[in-house]
Amino acid sequence: MKKPALWLALFLFLFAGALLFYRVLFLGYPLLPTAPGQTWAISIDLYVETGTEGAKVALGLPAEQAGLMVVEEKISAGAQSLDIHLEGPNRIGIWSVPGNREKTLVNFQTAVHVKRGRLGGDTTPPSRIAPPAEGGEEEALAKRLVAGWRNLPPPARLRAVAATASGRWADPPPENQEIRAWSGVREKLGGEFALRTLFRAADLSARSVSGLLLTNSVVGSPLRWLEVYDGQKWERIRPDTGEFWDRRVALLPLMHGEREAIRVVGGELREVRYVIRREPLSAWRVYFEQTRRSERFLDRWSLFRLPEEFQETFRILLLVPIGALMISALRNLIGFPTFGIFMPVLMALSFRNTGLWYGLGIFFGILLLGYGVRRALDKLRLLLVPRMAVLLTLVIGCFTILALVGGRIGLREFMAVGLLPFVILTMVIERFFVLVEEAGAAAASRTALGSALVSVITYFLISWEPLQLTFFLYPELMAAVTALQILVGQYSGYRLMELFRFRKLVASR
């Protein structure tokens, strides 16, 4: 192998590898682009009865966060006006409903994509530990109750406080009279407030959250839970029992803080319905949304920034070099006979419109018909260019007849034959005739079958969506493909079929 070609191939490999390494390790791209996780469609219906002066409805909406991406939102406002406000981590939609003394529907629809194992895995530390709730006696009592646990590590202290929700008090336990006093506080103020007060008295940052459990369901109100920071991550706790939510459970926050997820001012909330259902989402849509939101340099120059109507073309176009590499390997390493170099790739591209079996049938049908016409033209002793023009006219005439037949019987595949590479088919007919004359019908048939087989393999390759997505997301992989093409081009040894063909000669040595 010549050194310049080897060094060039090595440079191309390193270039593709460096860009891929940077995207995966520094930009957080997946090594194998798929659509991990789940997508949930959420519909929120609020039926509000208003007075003559109208009402305002405040609704907590899903917000972008670690492990969660809002893919699509549909807001039905109708005669209602809508404003969306950001308040800290909360995203609040405020509907102004006109007064009509009737029950009015407020509807909000969204689709959120949850990355597997990421939602609920927030590790952002709190900006500060919120002080215990003011209240004099309750605050002082809470501090006395947790005084014996102050020296515990934060995770152990957190579990000790959480256990009090179910009546279990860790060692050293407080005095019985203080426990009885705290039971009165829980009955008076509620379990959520009492538990949050204990966490803050134990110097643990705690916050209330309203949200949804992402599972196929219809519910009438959101869940409430507490998030408590244990020094490394936020734990999610049921305020009524003190149990920890498993980190694999997908909980979707709608409102952080003591505010309710739904508030109505100037009217009355008659009915609430949260409809949650899982739905499939293409990996293409996931990466399109991620890239569209990004301002990183490589993302700004990503193919996902192209208009969507042009992206479909490049999905296939980027795999054509792979098809050319495969043809090079099949011809130079294995010894597959084909009509030309790029004819199988062009045929494979056309099969995406005609369908594989219809495309193969049309290919062989036109090839045999063209061969018969070519034999008749041979008797006329025409010059090369006029003869090729006649064959080209024949091919297009066949396309036209097939399209008319397809339109008559409602077969779309016949109407898509115009996308077949008619110039290539014209050249194939000529080469097939010459090969029959020079090497016989058997050799010509083997070449036609070899071309068809390579076209079929290429068709399945360029139709494989994970490979399309990989090259679309990492177009630098074309440099690696070029390097492989250079290495294949340097091979000058025996082909596999030649070893099989001359096996007796090799064995006799």
Asked if residue 106 belongs to a domain, the reply is: no
- Residue 37 within a domain: no
pLDDT one digit per residue (tens) for the chain, 509 residues:
567 888 888 898 899 889 888 887 877 777 766 655 677 888 888 888 877 777 888 888 887 666 666 666 766 655 566 788 888 888 888 888 777 666 777 788 887 777 665 455 566 677 654 444 445 678 888 888 888 888 888 889 989 988 888 888 888 888 888 888 888 888 887 888 888 888 988 888 888 999 888 888 888 888 899 999 888 888 899 988 889 988 778 888 888 888 888 888 888 888 888 888 877 655 656 666 667 667 777 777 887 778 777 777 788 788 888 888 888 888 888 877 787 777 788 888 888 777 888 888 888 888 888 888 888 888 878 788 888 888 888 888 888 888 888 887 877 777 766 666 777 788 888 888 888 888 888 888 888 888 888 888 888 888 887 888 888 888 888 999 999 888 888 877 777 776 776 666 656 65
Q: What was the pLDDT predicted at 133? A: 47
State both tokens at 28.
Answer: 């957080």
Determine the Cα angle at 425 with ends 424 and 426, to 5°.
90
CA separation (Å) from 450 to 67, 261, 398?
49, 65, 23
- The reported pLDDT for the residue numbered 129 is 47
Q: How far apart are CA 240 and CA 223, in angstroms?
A: 12
* Distance from C-alpha of 95 to C-alpha of 55, rounded to nearest angstrom: 8
Rounding to the nearest 10 degrees, give the CA dihedral for residues 349, 351, 353, 354: 150
Tell me the whole-structure pTM to 2 decimals.
0.56
Q: What is the pLDDT of residue 132?
A: 47
């009592």: which residue's tokens?
141
Establish if 226 belongs to a structural domain.
no
Q: Is 462 a domain residue?
A: yes
Residue 319 CA to residue 281 CA, distance in Å, equals 23
Within-domain flag for 370: yes
The answer to whether the CB of 58 falls within 8 A of the CB of 263 is yes
| Cis omega (within 30 of 0) for bond into 172 | yes
Helix (H), strand (E) counts: the chain:
19, 13
Q: What is the pLDDT of residue 72?
A: 65
The three-state secondary structure class of 9 is helix
Contact present, 109 and 74 (Cβ < 8 Å) = yes
Q: What are phi and psi of 230, to 5 degrees?
A: -100, 15
Contact at 8 Å (CB) between 242 and 228? no
Q: How far does the chain reach from its first CA to its final CA, in angstroms?
A: 27
Domain that holds residue 403: 310-473
334 located within any domain: yes
Q: Quick check: is 161 in a domain? A: no
Say how many domains are in the chain. 1
Residue 431 lies in a domain: yes
pLDDT at 226: 92
Q: CA-CA distance, 20 to 27, in Å (whole number)?
A: 10
